[in-house]
Amino acid sequence: MSFHANIPRRWSTDDLPQPSVAIRSAAASIWNPINGLLEWFGELGMFIWQVLRSTFRRPFEGLELIRQLDEVGSKSLPMVAMAGAAIGAVLALESRHSLVQFGAKSLLPAAVIFSIIHETGPVITGLVVCGRVGAGIGAELGSMKVTEQIDAIEASGVNPYKLLAFTRILACIVMLPLLTLAADFCGIITGWIANTAAEPIAFYKFIHAGFAGTGFSDFLAPTFRTMVFGLIIGVIACFQGMRSQGGTEGVGRSATSAVVLSSLFVMLADVILVKLILVFFP
Amino acid sequence: MIRTDPAVPPPQTKRSEIRVKQSSARPDNAQQSGAGLAMQVQGLHKSYGEQKVLNGLDLTVGSGQTVAVLGRSGTGKSVLLRLIVGLQKPDAGTIQIQGQEITNANLEEMNEIRKKMGFLFQHAALYDSLTVEENIAFPLRRHTEMTAAQRSERVKDLLASVGMEADLNKMPSDISGGMQKRVGLARALALEPDILLLDEPTAGLDPITSGEIDELILKLQEEREVASIVVTHDLHSAKTIADRIVLLHEGNAVIEGTYEELEKSTDEFVVEFFKRDS
């Protein structure tokens, strides 16, 4: 047995990270995420360009568009309606408590309806569609990508950007305002039911009082704002799906990132659009 | 490198009554220098980062000829097919399809060229939301002016030719891997292409199914006389279906010839490849 076996090695300056290596490592840790972000935006720009240049060329993929309108619209309707209904009831219950305290109970219908058509209806619809449709598109296109189905479409002389991406994006843009109307309607109905449960009020009186101070522009601008949400959801979900790689794990990542990123961008767009709407429709 | 004469006299390929819609797109640089050749690949380079996959590959395929491309995994066999069908762009080199240079073709031009090609993917790549019938009808619906009845008839004929006429309404997930390959082959043949690109048509299949697929490819060669590139690891299959075999190593063809010529080769890599297979 060696006599020196258990003697610890002396500490030396070699054990410290070399300055150049440390600086390089720190720079990389700052630069890599920035580089990744720039790369993502660059690829997104190229994807949008590919979709745009395929948009106005024949054939126009009418059948696939109808299928996607059904997929995005009718199949999201129950969930959007339920979310709108829940929000309407909650708003009525919460607002009632506060308004009664300030002696402004008569403002309750206006508060509920204004809140629903201005903000909660569009945003809730956007976020619900982000979850349901964003995940669906991300997973479907991701799965098609990793199993070479998108390559097979391309190899057969068909433009996948038009067949798969454009139709889904257009379906999202068209259906979001319609789904928002459904959410608004359900929210107003359950708002009235919740209000009536506490203190009965005729439906026509509720509606009359609620829309008394509301103009057409109050309704139109927020509802059509959701077309931008639809554009964001469609573009992000299709982009994340079509750049999917790495087997089933990659498909999962695409679906998750489609939901997370589209929700994030919808909320960001909401802030910007609210400001723009206030400027153009004061 | 051993090289046999690649250009065999072009047979009179008969196109049936299927009329594929043609757009006005045609590469400006369409050349007729490659007359008699279905495909000509010259000095093809492709890298992924630091990894060189193809390193100046030359390959010619005459009309009606079948060339099997063999080689170890990762030597760029599938990449070669993807470059030929335009799914990826080469770093350098030229690819001519029936005399037309495609490396600089735009999307419309490329789509016109793709209508002349049938591609069987390694895992068939059937559209999983469509039935077997709809999968095969997909290119017909997109590129021909056939009526629904004519399409249906054509699909039935194609499925009969691959022995799957009974599985018309099944979903791809309801059929086996071998059956998916057959459907993929039927889909690749739907537009009666002049060129077939087959990526490992017998990979992962049992010997009997592999033999059936080989017989099917031979039958198609006899009936339609298409030019084919078959990427495979299966030496026996290559021997059965190919007029010539190209062995890839480190991104280039180390040897090219008939099976018998390759078998007699004294090249170390070729000998090792054949020894391992036997």
The model's pTM is 0.82
Say whether pLDDT at B116 is over 70: yes
The residue extents of the domains of chain B are 38-116+234-278
Write down the pLDDT at residue B8.
40
d(CA B254, CA A43): 38
Tokens 């009020």: give the residue: A201
| CB pair distance less than 8 Å for B123 and A154 | no
Q: 3-state DSSP call for residue B78?
A: helix
State which H helix or E strand residue B195 sits in. strand B195-199
Say whether pLDDT at B108 is over 80: yes
d(CA A121, CA A161): 31
Interface residue A46 vs chain B (CB under 8 A): no
Q: How many CB atoms lie within 10 A of CB B36?
A: 13
DSSP B17: S
Write down the pLDDT at residue B42.
92
Prediction ipTM score: 0.83
Q: Indicate the residue type of B172.
A: P
Instruction: Mention every residue, 6+ apart, whose C-beta is less than 8 A from residue B203.
Output: B122, B232, B233, B234
Q: Indicate the residue type of B211.
A: G
- For the segment B21-31, the average pLDDT, to the nearest whole number, is 48
The residue that leads in pLDDT, B23 or B246, is: B246
Write down the pLDDT at residue B213.
81
Q: In A, which residues are within 8 Å of B78 by CB distance?
A: none
- In 3D space, the residue among A103, A161, A130, A141 whose CA is nearest the CA of residue A230 turns out to be A130
| CB pair distance less than 8 Å for B121 and A148 | yes
User: Which residues, given as ranges, of chain A have pLDDT below 50?
Assistant: 1-3
| CB pair distance less than 8 Å for B111 and A158 | yes
Write down the pLDDT at residue B10.
37
| CB pair distance less than 8 Å for A152 and B139 | no
Of all residues in chain A, the one with the smallest CA distance to B20 is A157
The residue that leads in pLDDT, A180 or B253, is: A180
State which H helix or E strand residue B67 sits in. strand B66-71
What letters, b where the CB count within 10 A reaches 16 and e where it falls short, cover A150-163? bbbbbbbbbbbbbb
Q: What is the 3-state secondary structure (H, E, C) of chain A?
A: CCCCCCCCCCCCHHHCCCHHHHHHHHHHHHHHHHHHHHHHHHHHHHHHHHHHHHHCCCCCCHHHHHHHHHHHHHCCHHHHHHHHHHHHHHHHHHHHHHHHHCCCHHHHHHHHHHHHHHHHHHHHHHHHHHHHHHHHHHHHHHHHHHCCHHHHHHHCCCCHHHHHHHHHHHHHHHHHHHHHHHHHHHHHHHHHHHHHHHCCCCHHHHHHHHHCCCCHHHHHHHHHHHHHHHHHHHHHHHHHHHCCCCHHHHHHHHHHHHHHHHHHHHHHHHHHHHHHHHHHCC
The residue extents of the domains of chain A are 47-280
Pseudo-torsion of CA B42, B47, B53, B54, nearest 10°?
A: 10
Write down the pLDDT at residue B13.
36
- Residue A146 tokens read as 């990793």
Of B123, B128, B139, the CB nearest to A156: B139
Phi, psi angle pair for B110, to nearest 5°: -65, -40
Decide: residue B88, CB within 10 A, 0-12 exposed, 13-18 middle, 19+ buried: middle
Say whether pLDDT at B32 is over 50: no
State which H helix or E strand residue B244 sits in. strand B244-249
Of all residues in chain A, the one with the smallest CA distance to B22 is A157
Write down the pLDDT at residue A15.
64
Query: In whole numbers, what is the pLDDT of chain B averaged over residues?
Result: 82
Of all residues in chain A, the one with the smallest CA distance to B84 is A155
B207: left (phi over 0), alpha (psi -120 to 50) or beta: alpha
Tokens 């659009």: give the residue: A273
CB B139 within 8 A of CB B120: no
Interface residue A62 vs chain B (CB under 8 A): no
Q: In B, which residues are within 8 Å of A144 by CB distance?
A: 127-128
Q: Indicate the residue type of B160.
A: A
Q: Indicate the residue type of A75.
A: K
DSSP B60: E
Phi, psi angle pair for B227, to nearest 5°: -85, 135
Indicate the pLDDT class of residue B127, thresholds 50, 70 and 90: very high
Q: How many CB atoms lie within 10 A of CB A279?
A: 8
The mean-pLDDT minimum among B10-24, B133-147, B200-214 falls in: B10-24
Of A143, A147, A158, the CB nearest to B123: A147
Instruction: Please determine, looking at this structure, whether the domain spanning B38-116+234-278 carries the CATH number 3.40.50.300.
Output: yes
Q: What are B160-198's pLDDT values in tens digits?
A: 888 888 888 999 999 988 889 889 989 998 998 989 999
Indicate the pLDDT class of residue B7, thresholds 50, 70 and 90: very low
Interface residue A64 vs chain B (CB under 8 A): no
Indicate the pLDDT class of residue B12, thresholds 50, 70 and 90: very low
The strand order across the sheet containing B252-257 reads B117-120, B195-199, B227-231, B66-71, B244-249, B252-257
Write down the pLDDT at residue A97.
82
d(CA B201, CA B213): 7
Interface residue A32 vs chain B (CB under 8 A): no
Indicate the pLDDT class of residue B28, thresholds 50, 70 and 90: very low
Q: In A, which residues are within 8 Å of B86 by CB distance?
A: 154-155
A114: left (phi over 0), alpha (psi -120 to 50) or beta: alpha
